[in-house]
């Protein structure tokens, strides 16, 4: 008998100081092009939407 999960709760703790340090490191690694980052994010979001529609 399959189990269906109707609700999933996710809690996250955000540490802004750590995020600022990581942001500086990612720019040094070549990930600083905002247009490229937005393009990749849009592609990922569209993939997730497509997967949800297939279900």
Q: Domain boundaries in the chain?
A: 16-54
- Cα 14 to Cα 17, 45, 48: the distances in Å are 9, 22, 23
pLDDT given for residue 44 in this prediction: 92
The pTM for the full model equals 0.41
Rounded Cα distance, 24 and 16, in Å = 13
Cβ neighbours, 10 Å, residue 15:
9
- Cα 3 to Cα 7, 52, 54: the distances in Å are 12, 18, 19
Task: Look at the block and give the residue holding tokens 């070549």.
Answer: 30
Q: What is the pLDDT of residues 1-55, one digit of tens each?
A: 788 878 888 888 877 776 566 555 554 555 568 888 889 999 999 999 998 887 7
pLDDT given for residue 14 in this prediction: 78
């Amino acid at each position: 008998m399959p189990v269906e999960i109707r609700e999933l709760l996710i809690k996250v703790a955000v540490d802004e100081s750590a995020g600022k340090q990581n942001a500086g490191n990612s720019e040094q690694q070549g990930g600083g092009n905002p247009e490229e980052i937005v393009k990749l994010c849009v592609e990922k979001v569209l993939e997730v939407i497509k997967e949800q529609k297939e279900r």
